[in-house]
Amino acid sequence: MTEEHQRICLVHYHEIGLKGRNRANFENRLLKNIESIVVDYPVVTIHRIAGRLCVFLREGTDRATALDLTETLKVIPGVARVSCGFKCDRDLEEMGSVAVSALAECEDFETFKVHARRNHTDFETDSMEMNRIIGGYLCDAFPDKGVKMKDPDITVGVEVVQNAVYIYARSVRGVGGLPVGSSGRVVCLLSSGIDSPVALWRLARRGAECVGVHFSGRPQTADTSEYLVDDIAHVLEKSGCVARVYIVAFGDYQKEIMLKVPPSLRVIMYRRLMFKVAEEIAKRERAGALVTGESLGQVASQTLDNIRATDQSVDIPVFRPLIGTDKLDIIAEAQRLGSFDISSQDAPDCCTLFMPRNPETHARLRDVLKAEESLPIDAWVKELADAAEPHDYACASYKPPKHVVNASED
């Protein structure tokens, strides 16, 4: 029966705060983002229908592909819910049999109800009547299942629009948030650790375009961490959450700091230089803030005093979305995101390089600034930003800065 009917996925989004022009921008942005992410699926077209986006699948697409597509769609920022179903004609008998097919594809349920909507009153049967008629077909087809009005296991959705009807039963929650590209651009300090990919993802979910900066220990260490960061970026790319990652070879500069700065202040110095380079890249990228994966008290450098000492090195706002999050919760989020296994691999990066035995936990700004005076910081920042190597990922809204960022490239 269902072979005759075109499969669809309906993408629902929260409508709070979406008014006027804002709403059209949001919908267009989400539609473009989805289009760029589903390129490998048999998608015919995507349309805005009755306050939802409807993804139309090629005739004959099988159930497994539709389910797989649902999993891909639900992690895209801005998607509140994804429902899987079929398109059919505005004919009650046909609607009844398609509803049966849709419900037959659901597993593990005991109770259901029908929720019908009419977007055009030119369809003569009203929604109450549709609920009753289609409910009747379902009760006949599933005699051992029960109808339940409050909190049923499955709600069979029936949406009647101008020329067609969309019917679905399987429905999963999405990540919510806003479509990437609707909240400006940020630069994320991306290590190959567990925390920073989660921090980046949180900003992407709020609609920010994310450009990563990774400081590798090269040439003083191997480039393993760069490969891990690339693997992490590929995971984030699946939901359109990362646009570009700059790799900065930081090893030689750390060595200079190590030779000139007292051991207790070295970590702060490394971090201040990282922030300044990230700020310079943010200027070139026209990004409005930096993002880090710091969590209060998690490691020696993440005390209030040290956070203040690193913050003071830049003028741009620094966001720390994980500052009040426990490690176990961050780990759970990294597992959901799919970055955890990559982040758990060991790789030397600039954090493990030249680490003093007892790093300062309460750096005094005065001491830090004094130590910094002996270093050509401004020249280093320019050199490092010029030499930063950009790697691009699929992010539909992103347009790279016009001027040549990497002056050493031909």
- Residue placing its CB nearer to Mg ion in the complex, 78 or 193: 193
Taking the least distance from each CB to ligand ATP, the nearer of 171 and 339 is: 339
Stretch that binds ligand ATP, among 66-74, 98-106, 128-136, 185-193 (CB under 6 A): 185-193
Residue nearest to Mg ion (CB): 193
Q: Is 193 in the site for Mg ion (CB under 5 A)?
A: yes
| Smaller CB separation from ligand ATP, 182 or 325 | 325
From the list Mg ion, ligand ATP, none, partner contacted by residue 350 (C-beta under 5 to 8 A by kind)? ligand ATP
The answer to whether residue 189 forms part of the interface with ligand ATP (CB under 6 A) is yes
Our finding on whether 293 is near Mg ion (CB under 5 A) is no
- Closer CB to Mg ion, 103 or 351, in the complex: 351
Contact between 279 and ligand ATP (CB under 6 A)?
no
User: Least Å distance between CB 294 and ligand ATP?
Assistant: 5
* Rounded CA separation 243/180 (Å): 10
Compare residues 156 and 190 and give the one whose CB is closer to ligand ATP. Answer: 190
Structure token digits, residue 285: 């990228």
Look at residues 160, 158, 177 and name the one whose alpha carbon lies nearest to residue 168.
158
Contact between 295 and Mg ion per CB under 5 A: no
**First and final C-alpha spacing in the chain:** 60
Select 61 or 292, whichever has its Cβ closest to Mg ion: 292
Which lies closer to Mg ion via its Cβ, residue 334 or residue 351? 351
Q: How far is the CB of 354 from ligand ATP (least distance, A)?
A: 13
Pick the stretch among 141-149, 277-285, 346-354, 358-366 that binds Mg ion (CB under 5 A): 346-354
Stretch that binds ligand ATP, among 1-9, 344-352, 354-362, 374-382 (CB under 6 A): 344-352
Show the CA angle centred on residue 119, arms to residues 113 and 120, nearest 5°.
Answer: 125
Using CB distances below 5 to 8 A depending on partner kind, what does residue 294 bind out of Mg ion, ligand ATP, none?
Answer: ligand ATP
Least distance to ligand ATP from the beta carbon of 125, Å? 56
Q: Which of 191, 254, 295, 302 is in the footprint of Mg ion by CB under 5 A? A: 191
Q: Is 193 in the site for ligand ATP (CB under 6 A)?
A: yes
Under rule CB under 5 A, how many of the chain's residues touch Mg ion? 3
- Within 10 angstroms of residue 104's Cβ, the number of other Cβ atoms is 14
Q: Which residue, 166 or 270, has its beta carbon nearer to Mg ion?
A: 270
189 binds, among Mg ion, ligand ATP, none (CB under 5 to 8 A by kind): ligand ATP
Contacting residues toward ligand ATP, per CB under 6 A: 189-191, 193-196, 213-215, 292-294, 298-299, 301-302, 349-351
Residues that bind Mg ion (CB under 5 A): 191, 193, 351
